Structures are given as structure tokens and as C-alpha cells.
Structure 1
């Protein structure tokens, strides 16, 4: 084969790959709203599948790919995961978030760390550690990079905490337990309102979602947003309109709740044990859900973008 023929073959291969990729993106955008479909093979992850987060380039990251302590990556438009990074031996990740600088933060419930992986790297470094952690679970991130970490104590329904973690001048995290006028339960899912003034927290033991007004390290004016009579609640995320998307573990549904507490809709899923969710896609209107049952990821299209995709790329939404 001549050099010209090899070049022509490479160009043809590239064009085919681009066509497949963009066709996949286009088809996703054309999917009916609030209809979920499985996007990765069953069994790729352990039963600890959790912590989905999407970076500014549209890649999806999920913890516990094939083994505990790993992080898997689903490239934008792909239908199969690959290994992205490994946490140090003994650490097990849960929630993942990205800041505007492309840094990945990972909550490590086993070793009481929040790890950071710098943009373009795969090696985790300790961002914040505290022996006062119960078992850091999920993370929310503000526009200025402040992290909020749910810290449940599953053995004690009244032992939950929320941490506020800020970046110091040395690049390391500085954390403190937030005070509250209400005794917290088993804190789990966590996210902010679009204006960053309100923190939403789900509690596994009570099956409730609570809202708190933020004032530095204080959780003020606790308000019950909504409770459920059955099925445990897990991860949650907000959209640009302030609606709360809540994983209802064992119900096999994502509940969409208005900021006023109204149940606007429930999205049936392919798996019956959704653990967490995140927004992504080119327009921020795709919801990715991690499924403990079957250990796969599914996704559905929605009518409004999530808060975080708009936060990551100013002007996107």
C-alpha cells in the first residue's frame, strides 16, 4: 500500500468514526424526554457503583469500575466504560465532582479523604482528610469551588454531618463541620440551588429531602421539602430551574421535585436500584443514572439543563 493509499484509508476511517460519533450525539438529542435507556453493559461495575460526574468535555466518570477503589470513564458518545484511575489501596470512592478548572474531587468513605485529580492527570492526591469524618459520601460544588460533603453515620440515624471544604492558599482543602439548628439524620444526596444560596440534603433514614439556607459554615432555616412513605432516597441533583432530581433506591425511579416540594413527575428506570445521578450531554440535558441492580449506567433526556453543566462552562446554557 502506497503512502497516499494509507493516508486516504486513515482519512476515511477518521470520517467514519466522526460520523458514528456525531450520529450518536444527534440521536441522543432526538430521544423522547424522560424515557430512560441503558447505555453501558451490565456488570461493568461493582455493587458500589456511585458518584457519577461529567467533565466539561462530556466524559462521564463513575466509581468502582470492575473493582472497588477504581474510577471508570465513559467517553462522550461511548457505550462502554474504561479504567480511568485507581485510588490508593484501601480507599473506596463514592461522590465525584468537577470544578471550573477541570479538577476532579472524589469522596473516599473508607479512608476519610477527599481526593483531587488535577486536569489532564490520573493520579489522586489528598485534598482534605479528617479523622472526624464518619464516611464521606456525596459532594456538591459551588461556583467558587467550595465543596459540601454529606457525611452519614449509618449505624446512628442522628449522627449525620455536612462538611464545608474550601481551598487554601497552598491548594489544600480546609474543612469544617457545618452547624445546624436541626439535628441531622443519615445525610446522603446533596446539591445546591442554582443561585447557590440553598443546600438540599436527602436523608436515608427518614426518606426526606431538606433545604437549608447557607450562611458561611451555618445551615439555617431548615425546611422539609418533601418526604416519601416508602423506598429509601439516595443521590440528588438540581436543574437550572431549581427542580430536584432524586434517586429513589428500590423504587426504580427518579423523582423530579419542585423547589416548593411538589412532585412533578417520576421517571421509571430500567434498573430497580438507582444510587445516584448527574447531568451531562452537549446541552446539559442528559441525566445519567448509576444502577446497583445490574451494575450499569442508564440515561434519559430532560427539558432543562442541570445546574452543574451550566456552572462548568459559562455561556453554555
Structure 2
């Protein structure tokens, strides 16, 4: 074999090898990016049955309440498969919903002591942001682009009497809250989030198994509209994506319902666990949905095709 022919064949072999490796890597990436297939992320038993409040900060860290014991907050770093203790709330306080604003402040709804706590970016010590004796038991939180918080405030002992709070930041840096008025009597308010344009508030009700939409006008909930109801299985937390879809945890059904803004049921995502309590969007592109599981106390996750509303607030470049 002459030298030129040997070099030519070697070149073909190297090119084929590079192409094969690239093809294999592409297939691996595609396999890892299969949409709507959920996988268990953290070990069972890391969290109590009160596992709730998943929220992701701008650095991709996931935070979940009641890590190992009540009153704590766990943290899952990007790419990690186990949680670590982030912080503990003061004695007798128990967290539920968590959200982050654009400045990196963390807000935690404390249903036991009727507080909303805040933790400054880069810190771990909570301070009271807002307190009211008029709270029933603050449950979940939604946050607007301007930092306004909306808090669901159910009365689980009664099929009515639920409330929605609007909480804004005052000049002194503390929260100022008021119960929102509504033309409709609210049920057991639970999951809560905003439409991408911030004009509509979505609220799930545990007693009716329904999701309602309200047009926002300051502290008023106007034009109530039934988005969708279910004949069985309690509904819990919900979040919206950048296109206005609603991702809803169906407790005991073991599924996340994906609902169009028009109320159509686009799909249901089967989960590893059977008692999803809440969910949030995260990941480097905002297209990973993290789900908290009450039965077993763990977190699972699946990929979706469009980013969540909140990651787009924190990282506009991904949208």
C-alpha cells in the first residue's frame, strides 16, 4: 500500500469515528431529553409527608420544605440527586409554598404561625416579611414580575371561606397585605399562579377539584371563569408555562394534568409516585418540571417542550 492511500484510508476512518461518536452523543442527549417521562430525582424518605413548596432560584438550586423534619428547608444543587439542609425556620413554624423574586429573595409561606418569611439572597436566616392574624393558614404563593405576592389561604375544615391575599413590598422593605375581594365565594383555595402576562390569576380548589381564573384589578378578583374541573382525585399545586398552559398536581391520581389556557386537557403525565403535592419549573433552560411526592417523601422530575413562566422572569435569555 502506498503512503498516500494509507493516509487517505486513515483519514476516512478518523472521520467515520468522529461522526459515530457525534451520532451516539446526539442519541444519548435525545434519550435524556424525552419529554413527559418522569424519573425519581432524590431518595425516598429525605422529606416528611409535608413535602411541598418546590421553587428554583436563578442559579438552578431547588428548594423544598420539610427536609427530614418539619420546619426545615432542603436544597438540591443543579445536577445533584440528594438534598442537603439549607435552613430551619424558627420554632413551631412550618413552611409550605416558596417563591423567589428577581433580586433573589426567597419567600416562604408559614401556615402554622401565619407568617410569610423572607430570606435575602446569599443568606440563610429568615425574617418575618408579613404577618396577619387574619390568615387561615397561608398555603401556596405566586409571584408577579414586579415582586407582588399572591397567597392562597384555605380553610381546610370548611368547603368555603378560603381567601387570596395580595402582598406588596412597602417603603420599609416589609410586606403589606390585604385580602382580595371576589365576586365569587371561594372554596378551599390551594394551588396558585399567574398567566404569562400577569393579568390573570389561576387558583385550584381542593374541595371542588376545580381550577378557576380571575382577572386581576389591584386587590380585586374579577370575572371568575371555570377553567376545568375533575370528577375524582383532589387537586393541589399548579404552575404555568410561558405559553399559558397550566400544570396541575392531581393528588392521589399520581399525575400532572397539562391544561391549555382555554381549559382543554392536553395530556396527563404519569408519575413515579402516587401523591404529587406541588411542582415548579427549573433547569438551565426552564424546561424541567420538579414534582414533590407526599407518599415516600421524594422529588421526581420530567422534561417539557416549553419553559415555565417564572424561569423566564429570572432568566429572560432562555425565552
Partner Cα separation in structure 2 for residue 230 and residue 293 of structure 1: 19
2:95 aligned residue? 93
1:74 aligned residue? 76
Per-residue deviation at 1:63?
0.1
Partner Cα separation in structure 1 for residue 83 and residue 197 of structure 2: 33
Structure 2 counterparts to residues 1-317 of structure 1, below 5 A: 30-317=32-319
SS in 2 for 1:230: coil
Partner Cα separation in structure 1 for residue 318 and residue 259 of structure 2: 24
Per-residue deviation at 1:313?
1.8
Per-residue deviation at 1:189?
0.1
Are the equivalent residues in 2 in contact too, given 1:29–1:301 (CA < 8 A)?
no
Runs of 4+ off more than 4 Å: 26-29
Q: 1:146 to 1:29 in 2, by over 3 A?
A: farther
Q: 1:118 to 1:28 in 2, by over 3 A?
A: farther
SS in 2 for 1:315: helix
TM-score (norm 1): 0.91
Are the equivalent residues in 2 in contact too, given 1:166–1:174 (CA < 8 A)?
yes
Are the equivalent residues in 2 in contact too, given 1:167–1:173 (CA < 8 A)?
yes
When the two structures are aligned, how many residues end up with a matched partner? 293
Partner Cα separation in structure 1 for residue 29 and residue 62 of structure 2: 18
Partner Cα separation in structure 2 for residue 237 and residue 105 of structure 1: 16
Per-residue deviation at 1:314?
2.4
Partner Cα separation in structure 1 for residue 187 and residue 274 of structure 2: 24
Give CA deviations for 1:56-75 in whole Å, capped at 9, x if unaligned.
00000000000000000000
Where in structure 2 are there 5+ consecutive unaligned residues? Answer: 1-24
Q: 1:29 to 1:289 in 2, by over 3 A?
A: farther
2:11 aligned residue? none
1:6 aligned residue? none
Q: 1:133 to 1:29 in 2, by over 3 A?
A: farther
SS in 2 for 1:64: strand
Give CA deviations for 1:100-120 in whole Å, capped at 9, x if unaligned.
000000000000000000000
Are the equivalent residues in 2 in contact too, given 1:162–1:177 (CA < 8 A)?
yes
Partner Cα separation in structure 2 for residue 89 and residue 287 of structure 1: 31
Partner Cα separation in structure 2 for residue 259 and residue 108 of structure 1: 30
Give CA deviations for 1:214-235 in whole Å, capped at 9, x if unaligned.
0000000000000000000000
Pairwise CA RMSD: 1.2
Q: 1:28 to 1:300 in 2, by over 3 A?
A: farther
